[in-house]
Amino acid sequence: MDSHDRDHPLLAAFLAGDLDPVQARQWDEHLLACERCWQAVREDREGRQAAQLLRQPVPPGLGDRVAFAVEVAAAGRGLVQPDHRRGIGFGRPGRHRRRASWRLAVAGMLAATAAVALAVTFLPSGHQAPSLPAAVAAVARYAQAISGPAVPRRPGPEAPPVEVGHPVAVTAGGQRIVLRTWRLGGTEAVVAVSGRPFPMPAHARGVSGRGMAWSARLGSLGLYCLNGRTSELVAAPVPAAELAALAARLPLY
Amino acid sequence: MFLDATLPHLDVVWQVARRTAAEGQDPEDLVQETYLRAYAGFESYRGGNTRAWLAAICLNVARSQARRRRRRPREVPGLALLEALPWDRADGGDGAADVANVVMAGLDAEAVSGCLGLLPEPQRVCVVLMDVAGYSAREAAHALGCPRGTVLARVHRGRRRLAQLLAEAGVSHGQP
The pLDDT of residue A76 = 58
List CB contacts of A242: < 8 A, sequence separation 6 or more.
Answer: A222
Helices B50-68 & B27-40 angle (0-180, nearest 10): 120
Q: What end-to-end distance do the CA atoms of chain A give, in Å? A: 73
Domain range enclosing B60: 2-68
Percent helix, strand and coil across chain A, each to the nearest 5 = 40, 20, 40
How distant is the Cα of B76 from the closest Cα of chain A, in angstroms? Answer: 19
Q: Cβ-count burial of B126 within 10 angstroms (0-12 exposed, 13-18 middle, 19+ buried)?
A: buried
- What φ, ψ does residue A213 adopt, rounded to 5°? -105, 150
Verify that B92 and B163 share a domain, yes or no: yes
Q: How far apart are CA A193 and CA A177, in angstroms?
A: 6
The pLDDT of residue A16 = 84
Using an 8 Å CB-CB cutoff, list chain B residues near A55: 15, 95-96, 99, 132-134
The one-letter amino acid code at A90 reads F
Residue B176 covered by a domain: no
CA pseudo-torsion sign A88, A94, A96, A102: positive
Residue B23 covered by a domain: yes
Partner-chain contact A54 B116, CB within 8 Å: yes
Residue B9 maps to which CATH number? 1.10.1740.10
The pLDDT of residue A252 = 74
How distant is the Cα of A253 from the closest Cα of chain B, in angstroms? Answer: 23
Verify that B54 and B111 share a domain, yes or no: no
| Structural domain spans, chain A | 11-52, 62-249
Q: Mutate which of A37, A56, A72 to test chain B, going by most B C-beta atoms within 10 A?
A: A56
Using an 8 Å CB-CB cutoff, list chain B residues near A142: none
Strand order in the sheet with A175-184: A162-172, A175-184, A187-194, A231-236, A221-226, A210-218, A205-207
How distant is the Cα of A246 from the closest Cα of chain B, in angstroms? Answer: 28
The pLDDT of residue A186 = 77
Using an 8 Å CB-CB cutoff, list chain B residues near A57: 11, 93-95
The stretches in chain A having pLDDT less than 70 are: 1-9, 75-131, 146-158, 207-211, 253
By Cβ distance, the residue of B40, B109, B127 closest to A92 is: B40
Verify that B92 and B130 share a domain, yes or no: yes
Partner-chain contact B149 A92, CB within 8 Å: no
How distant is the Cα of A95 from the closest Cα of chain B, in angstroms? Answer: 11
Number of domains in chain B: 2
Partner-chain contact A50 B99, CB within 8 Å: no
Q: Mutate which of A41, A49, A65, A168 to test chain B, going by most B C-beta atoms within 10 A?
A: A49
Q: Cβ-count burial of B168 within 10 angstroms (0-12 exposed, 13-18 middle, 19+ buried)?
A: middle
The stretches in chain B having pLDDT less than 50 are: 71-106, 174-176
The pLDDT of residue B152 = 93
CA pseudo-torsion sign B131, B137, B138, B144: positive
Choosing from B36, B68, B100, the residue where a domain stops is: B68
Determine the length of chain B: 176
